[in-house]
Copies of this chain bind each other. A is one copy, B any other.
Amino acid sequence: MKNKIVRIKDIAEKAKVSTGTVDRVLHKRGRVSKKVEEKVLKIIEEMDYEPNLMARALGSNKIYQIAALIPDHEIDFYWHAPKAGIEKAEKDLKQYGIIVQQYVFDPYDVDSFISKANKLTTDKPDGIILSPIFYRETLPFFEKWKVAEIPFVLFNTQIAECEPLSYIGQDSYQSGFLAGKLIHYGQPDSCSILIAHIDEETSNAAHLLKKEQGFRNYFAQNNLDHQYKILRVELNRSNAAVFMKQLGDIIDSTPDLGSIFVTTSKAHEIAKYLEQRYIKHIKIIGYDLLPPNLYFLNKGTISFLINQNPKGQGYWGIYQLTDSLVFKKEVPIIKYLPLDIVTKENANYYVDDEDAVYLDI
């Protein structure tokens, strides 16, 4: 078993050409006769050549500008984690010539998004990572980037038809389905269940609807429809009084309410409300390990959180772009991160740690 590492030079020797020719074949730079190209390709195949990524990155010695188009974490704290992931990746990958430029927009202001997206586009980066939270407004940019041949990676929100280099995030439908299971498991007896969409317009946020659909389908597929009554509500904290009243009305008018499934990262708002009213029998399941959510998780007010791994999403986005740009690797078009079930007893393994290390197998 010869384990010797095959180099370009070895291929060149075997093909009786120079390393330059092999290089041209490898990179499809042309200027190689068809006959020679075929021969070299065949030998590359035969010898099972694998490029030395270190030498490649070292030799090419390029700087890759990656643009990150992300919502302002000071406006919505949820975006703090992706930002942290992006920055961690930038730090880890700096040595490969990766530099990330952040374009931060207001997640509640479409114009801000468009403005930043325009600026980004004129800056002509080598790659783009973004969370396309404004569906309609993002589409024309996808076209521009495709024309300019700038690869882009989506995270958090999936838009299948835009043909990104990669999408990184969760399967919203399946996460709703999972939430159904968790509620059913902890609530074997007949009761009412509330789906709460908080602070987001479901009409403009397809992923929330997918979660709801998955959730409902869990009960439907398991023939539990007769056992549970599923309610839904859309709440908005912009008016605190209305928020409280709406929630209170539902709770008061639904005495057998057993669980609440919060489709956004705002489960802590429900938890706060229930605590204030000393309601203890209603179970909450929500998303994301934000500090206020973790607080109520540790108190037991929230039973489970499904981790969307937002930091990992940011990290992986940059990582995939690097794999593609620097190492010319193929990257998976869809990269679903696991649906981590987080509860008080295992939370500390998932919470964001400065020294977090990411690893890909």
Contacts and interface: CB of A to CB of B under 8 A. Distances in A.
A303 interface: yes
A181 B343 contact: yes
A96 B181 contact: no
Contact of A357 (B89, B185, B335, B346): B335
A187 B172 CA distance: 28
A251 interface: no
This protein's copies in its complex: 2
A361 B361 contact: no
Interface string A151-164: 00000000000000
Contacts of A178: 343, 345-346
A289 to B, nearest CB: 10
A95 B350 contact: no
Interface in A153-192: 174, 177-178, 180-182, 185-186, 188
Interface stretch (A51-59, A131-139, A196-204): A51-59
A52 B351 CA distance: 30
Nearest to A188: B186
A312 interface: yes
A287 interface: no
A336 interface: yes
A300 B53 CA distance: 45
Interface string A42-71: 000000001011110110000000000000
A358 B356 contact: no
B52 A55 contact: no
A3 B63 CA distance: 11
A178 B342 CA distance: 10
Contact of A185 (B99, B186, B339): B186
B50 A95 contact: yes
Given A186-B186, A339-B346, A350-B361, 14 more contacts: A5-B94, A52-B58, A52-B95, A53-B95, A54-B58, A85-B361, A178-B346, A181-B344, A309-B361, A341-B341, A341-B343, A351-B361, A357-B360, A358-B360
Interface of A: 3, 5, 50, 52-55, 57-58, 85, 88-89, 92, 94-96, 99, 174, 177-178, 180-182, 185-186, 188, 218, 303, 309, 311-312, 315-316, 319, 332, 335-341, 343-346, 349-353, 355-361
17 contacts: A50-B94, A50-B95, A54-B54, A54-B95, A92-B361, A178-B343, A181-B344, A185-B185, A218-B345, A309-B361, A311-B361, A312-B359, A338-B340, A339-B349, A340-B346, A341-B341, A356-B360
